[in-house]
Amino acid sequence: MTLTLPAPAKLNLFLYITGRRDDGYHNLQTLFQFLDYGDSLAFAPAPDGELRLEPNLPGVPPEQNLIIRAARLLQSKTGCTRGARIRLTKRLPMGGGLGGGSSDAATTLVALNHLWQLGLSQKQLAELGLQLGADVPVFVRGHAAFAEGVGERLTPATPPEPWYLVLAPGIEVATAAIFTDPELPRNSPVLSLEQRLSLPWENDCEALVKKRHPEVAKLLGWLLEYAPSRMTGTGACVFATFDSREAAEQALNKAPAGVSGFVAKGCNTSPLFGALRQITDN
């Protein structure tokens, strides 16, 4: 039996940095929403207990791939000795602020919990996920959320679900490099969700990323001509909101040379759980 499940992208509809902790991590206030577009993973049981991932990602040794790390973490926490062959269809640009690696890890935790019949709760999986990355818990929980702390304190939210055009400038932005930059603003006020929703939605990393990466500044400038636009996460991808798929596709067709992108719908429920429910109901 092969279990094929999506690993959707996320957008940070806003992102504020409210301080830095003693361990160097930053406290955030951010609004996560999923997209109906992302990577796809197929899981098959391996009789020999081995974990195998195909294909490898360029520049990422298998043992550092978040998919293998998630599977190993699950094995070590539960003592499970079963294996899996995992096939990854990578669609999300890496280092794009779309959370592809984190989403791959979350889908792996959810899928192998099912395939290996481990019976861990969603809460237990989210706690394990946090050890892999600050963004993993929201993908495990599967609901659009206002996130605080380093991203682990989640309050479900229901922002509008528009069409988005997401554009990738063709560069990777390293999250760690942005968070260690002395020029990053770190003093946004801690506000309630209601206050945050009612104020303009902004991203505290955007000005710095634009300064360090002129490709992002140029692309955002181009996109703003069409619709309200922002950067997601620590970049490099930017997104704009449209009322219809057609309007977003028209803008995509005019995208500058060297820029890739896609049109997707915002979803407050992760496509991962719709797909899993279809499988478990059948």
Ligand X SMILES: C[C@@](CO)(OP(=O)(O)O)[C@H](O)COP(=O)(O)OP(=O)(O)OC[C@H]1O[C@@H](n2ccc(N)nc2=O)[C@H](O)[C@@H]1O
Ligand Y SMILES: Nc1ncnc2c1ncn2[C@@H]1O[C@H](COP(=O)(O)OP(=O)(O)O)[C@@H](O)[C@H]1O
Q: What is the Rg, in whole angstroms, of the alpha carbon atoms belonging to the chain?
A: 19
Nearer to ligand X, 12 or 270 (CB): 12
**Measuring CA to CA, how many Å separate 88 from each of 192, 209, 254?**
39, 29, 30
Report in angstroms how near the CB of residue 8 gets to ligand Y at its nearest.
Answer: 12
H or E segment and range at residue 211: helix 206-212
Single out the segment in contact with ligand Y by CB under 6 A; choices: 58-66, 189-197, 207-215, 257-265.
58-66
Q: Does the footprint of ligand Y cover residue 206 (CB under 6 A)?
A: no
Sign of the Cα pseudo-torsion (107, 112, 115, 120, in order):
negative
100 annotated ligand binder: yes
In the structure encoding, which two tokens stand for residue 245, read together? 């798929």
Report in angstroms how near the CB of residue 21 gets to ligand X at its nearest.
Answer: 8
Residues 158-177 that bind ligand Y (CB under 6 A): 172, 175
118 annotated ligand binder: no
With CB under 5 to 8 Å by kind, the binding choice for 60 among ligand Y, ligand X, none is ligand Y
The one catalytic residue among 10, 39, 104, 210: 10
> At 160, which amino acid appears?
P
102 annotated ligand binder: yes
Has 135 been annotated as catalytic? yes
Phi, psi of 10 (to 5 degrees): -125, 160
Q: Does the footprint of ligand Y cover residue 271 (CB under 6 A)?
A: no
The one catalytic residue among 39, 135, 204, 210: 135
Going by C-alpha positions, the residue among 167, 185, 196 that lies closest to residue 255 is 167
93 annotated ligand binder: yes
Task: Yes or no: say if 46 and 81 are a contact pair by the CB < 8 Å rule.
Answer: no
Distance CA 129, CA 67 (A): 11
The single residue among 38, 169, 233, 266 that binds ligand Y, judged by CB under 6 A, is 233
With CB under 5 to 8 Å by kind, the binding choice for 73 among ligand Y, ligand X, none is none
For Cα atoms 201, 103, 202, give the angle at the middle one, nearest 5 degrees.
10
Interstrand relation of 51-54 and 83-89 (parallel, antiparallel or unpaired): parallel
DSSP-derived secondary structure for 88-134:
EE--SPTTSSS-HHHHHHHHHHHHHHHHTT----HHHHHHHHHTT-T
Q: Does the footprint of ligand X cover residue 193 (CB under 6 A)?
A: no
Report in angstroms how near the CB of residue 100 gets to ligand Y at its nearest.
Answer: 4
With CB under 5 to 8 Å by kind, the binding choice for 104 among ligand Y, ligand X, none is ligand Y
Residues 86-115 that bind ligand Y (CB under 6 A): 94-102, 104
3-state DSSP assignment of residue 200: coil
DSSP-derived secondary structure for 109-120:
HHHHHHHTT---
Q: Which residues contact 253 (CB under 8 A, 6 or more apart)?
A: none
The single residue among 27, 65, 113, 241 that binds ligand Y, judged by CB under 6 A, is 65
Residues 36-95 that bind ligand X (CB under 6 A): none
Report in angstroms how near the CB of residue 179 gets to ligand Y at its nearest.
Answer: 11
121 annotated ligand binder: no
Nearer to ligand Y, 64 or 180 (CB): 64
Helices and strands per DSSP (H, E), number in the chain: 10, 10
Active site residues: 10, 135
* Binding-site sequence positions: 93-103
List of residues contacting ligand X (CB under 6 A): 12, 24-26, 28, 30, 97, 99, 102, 133-135, 150-151, 175-176, 179, 233-234
